[in-house]
Amino acid sequence: MAIVEHLYPLTGAVLVGLGLYGFLTLRHPLRQLLAVNVVGAGIFLILGGLGRGADSTDPFPQALVITGIVVAVALTAFGAALILRVAEDERAPDGTAADDTNGNHP
Amino acid sequence: MSPLDLLVAAPLAFMIAALLSGPWGRWWLLAAIPVMAGLTVWLLLLPEGSGHVVGGWTLPLGVQLRADGVAQLMVAATAVCAAIVGLYALHEFAPGADRSETAHGFAFWPLFYLLWGGANAGFLTTDLFNLYIALEMVSLAAVAMAAMGSLRAALRYFVIALVGSLAYLLGVALLFSNYATVDLTLLAEMARPDLATKTALAVMTAGLLIKAAVFPLHGWLPPAHAAAPAPASALLSAIVVKVGFVILLRLWFEAFPAIIAPAGLELLGWLGALAVLYGSVQAIRQDTLKALVAYSTVAQIGYLLLAFPLVATAAGTGGAWAGMTIHATAHMLAKAAMFLAAGLMLKAVNGHHLKDLHGLARAMPLTVAAFGLAAVSLMGLPPSAGFLAKFLLLEAAVEQGAVFAAAVLLVGGLLAAVYLFKPLAWAFAGSDTPVVVAKAPLRTAAPLALALLAVSLGFAGQAMVDITAGSPWAGPPATEAEDVQ
């Protein structure tokens, strides 16, 4: 069965597509961060599925995936902290958002 | 032991040390500078193409670090920039009375070393997955540094950089599924022009174009670079964008030169040309100094891409290749100098706008001179390194009959003169001497040293051309790197 053989990369591709769609259509940074994480999960699934052999498993892609997940977790935590800080700034009572020196309000 | 892994490991060790020493973290710089200088000299003395496999794991499993011409030149320029910017930042990021000042003083130094180590890894590695890690290290440090200036600009930068990283990672996954290796030197031998490879190359290139802020994917750069504190801006504009560029070089000219279609090179060349013109015009339109300098980065990155078709057409490491890499080096030094000088000037007048600089040349002659010298290199006036780079590129363009590229090179130089004369004109305007408060006047030496280096490197042109010639894809096909453990 061709579909079963390629189950992992196909599911991964679907996740990448979903995540990308989410990233492009959602405007809130937190949702965008989640969408990017879905893309990441898709890529890791593609990579992780590669090492699957009939009788033996190649550990190399798995090692790449583990490293990738570590990076993704670190970046997600950092992104969440950044989003939180921006939200706190916006909620500040004086509304001055003192950080913006150039008046760039996108 | 090899300097290759120490060049990555040492900054990371200093990062941890700085993190643990809290308010005294900044003084690690005085240890880091001699250590990194020694390692860089060691790197420059290594025989051409020396490689080192980390941890003794052989290819295709291991991660190879390699000292080729580009890596040597970029690591050395990074070391010079980072050391001088670091000395400048010793005062700027000292723990202060104010709470946010203290927070910046704590946060800057670990980020500084993370950036340095990540950039070195990005320049030295031939392993595509390890390059992904290097990209993320650099991006993480860069976004956090940008957040010191403007949280919103940093968030925008973060989200777009994340997409760039994932596009790159998707390409790595595709390449691994196709070739079962992610080492550039091995990929170069096996490259096949099939769909998977081309798709992988396309998504990785798109991701790297975001990281290098190439037009039209540059939108995140000006707000992030303009709002950050001066030393952070200097590092972002000088070093961070070059990491994406060097990885792009590795992909296009080392791993897959055989399967690159001329149309792809033309496209990159066009993007570069548009970046030069658009970035310059935008820089002319800015009325705040740091935004002007940031748009100038967009324009200057354009030259690097403009050179891609020229390099591919030229035989060997001739003019175009050397011109492109020397331009990257010259821009590193000159742009770092310019951001530091801009930071000093704006701090002194306590403003952001060009008109705030009124008459500043009489109050801060050395800083304005540093800005002017950096401008000389960015405009490409002799004898600066920027001139040498643009001259080599122009020569290649004329030789190949690439009229359009030659025209963009000339027009870009003129436009650079227009936007860089604007702040200088304000600084030399009027006849009264403004009263300025110069804090830590010794810092004036930092932009001046960088700018003088950018200008005087033009005299060491032949040496730089020789260094860049030691790149594996410049001559005959890549050979196995010899191990120097």
pLDDT of residue B472: 63
Q: Does B52 touch chain A (CB under 8 A)?
A: no
The answer to whether B223 contacts A104, with C-beta atoms less than 8 Å apart, is yes
Task: Tell me whether residue A25 is in a domain.
Answer: yes
pLDDT band at A105 (very low <50, low <70, confident <90, very high): very low
A98 within domain boundaries: no
Q: Look at residue B311 in the predicted model and tell me its pLDDT.
A: 86
For A28, other C-beta atoms within 10 Å of its C-beta total 9
- pLDDT cut 90: percent of chain B above it: 48
pLDDT at A101 over 50: no
Q: Which residue of B has its CA nearest to A99?
A: B150
So what's the pLDDT on residue A103? 41
Mean pLDDT of B254-280: 90
Q: Does A96 touch chain B (CB under 8 A)?
A: no
Q: Is residue A18 part of a domain?
A: yes
pLDDT of B374 higher than 80? yes
Residues of B in contact with A97 (CB under 8 A): 151-152
Chain A residue with the nearest C-alpha to that of B288: A102
Of B19 and A103, more confident: B19
CA distance A8 to chain B (A): 12
Neighbours of A20 (CB within 10 A): 18
Q: What is the CATH number of the domain that holds A75?
A: 1.10.287.3510
Residue B212 structure tokens: 């290098």
Is pLDDT of B485 > 80?
Answer: no
Q: Which residues of B touch A6 (CB under 8 A)?
A: none
Average pLDDT on B164-175 reads 91
Are the CB atoms for B134 and B122 separated by under 8 Å? yes
Percent of chain B scoring above 70 in pLDDT = 94
pLDDT digits (tens, 9 = 90+) for B314-370: 766 568 888 999 999 999 999 999 999 999 998 888 888 888 888 888 888 899 999
Q: At residue B59, does pLDDT exceed 70?
A: yes
For B445-458, the pLDDT digits (tens) are: 899 999 999 998 88
Say if B54 is an interface residue toward chain A (CB within 8 Å).
no
Residue A105 in domain: no
Number of domains in chain A: 1
B-chain residues near A32 (CB < 8 A): 159
Looking at the complex, does the CB of residue B143 fall below 8 Å from at least one CB of chain A? yes
With CB atoms and an 8 Å threshold, state whether A106 touches B156: yes
Quick check: A101 contacting B, CB < 8 Å?
yes
Interface of B with A in 115-134 (CB under 8 A): 129, 132-133
State what percent of residues in chain A have pLDDT above 70.
80
Structure ipTM = 0.85
In this prediction, residue B318 carries a pLDDT of: 66
Per-residue pLDDT tens digits for B279-325 = 999 999 999 999 999 999 999 999 999 999 888 887 665 688 889 99
Name the residue range of residue A64's domain: 2-91
In a domain, A106, yes or no: no
Residue A28 is assigned to a structural domain of this protein: yes
CB atoms within 10 A of CB B35: 16
Average pLDDT, chain B: 87
Q: Any chain A CB within 8 A of the CB of B469?
A: no
The yes-or-no verdict on residue B276 having pLDDT over 90 is yes
**A32 in reach of chain B (CB within 8 A):** yes
Which tens digits make up the pLDDT trace of B217-258? 888 899 998 989 999 999 999 999 999 999 999 999 888 888
Is residue A84 in some structural domain?
A: yes
Q: Which residue is it, tokens 């030496």?
A: B445
* Chain A residues in contact with B173 (beta carbon < 8 A): 43, 46-47, 50
pLDDT of residue B285: 93
Nearest CA in chain B to A46: B173
Q: Taking Cα atoms as reference points, which of B366, B240, B385 lies closest to residue B323?
A: B385
- C-alpha distances (whole Å) from B274 to each of B59, B245, B335 are 40, 17, 20
Residue B237 per-residue DSSP state:
I
Q: Cβ contacts of residue B229 below 8 Å, gap of 6+?
A: B92, B93, B104, B145, B148, B149, B343
What's the one-letter identity of residue B208?
A: L
pLDDT tens, position by position, A33-75: 999 999 999 999 988 887 676 677 778 888 888 989 999 999 9
Residue A101 belongs to some domain of the structure: no
